[in-house]
Structure 1
Amino acid sequence: GGKIIMPIQKTFWSEAYGIVEDAFGVQWQVNHETSMG
């Protein structure tokens, strides 16, 4: 029942970022960082 708004992809601020919308119309942002060092 949900949909992909922005597929997971690398951005200048994140290794993996994307946006999905659930069946109730709530948008969720997914952000994953790699550790520095």
Structure 2
Amino acid sequence: SPTTVRSYVSEILAHTGCKSRGQLAITAARAGITQ
């Protein structure tokens, strides 16, 4: 059903959002360490 697909997509978006946010934090931390 469309609701299942929608919740599945939103879960993926939530996970990728968290991952990219974590990547940004890690990148920022590394930049702070190297500078």
- TM band (smaller chain): under 0.3
- Using the size of structure 2 for normalisation, the TM-score is 0.18
The TM-score normalised by the length of structure 1 is 0.18
Name the one with the larger helix percent.
Answer: 2
The answer to which structure has the higher strand fraction is 1
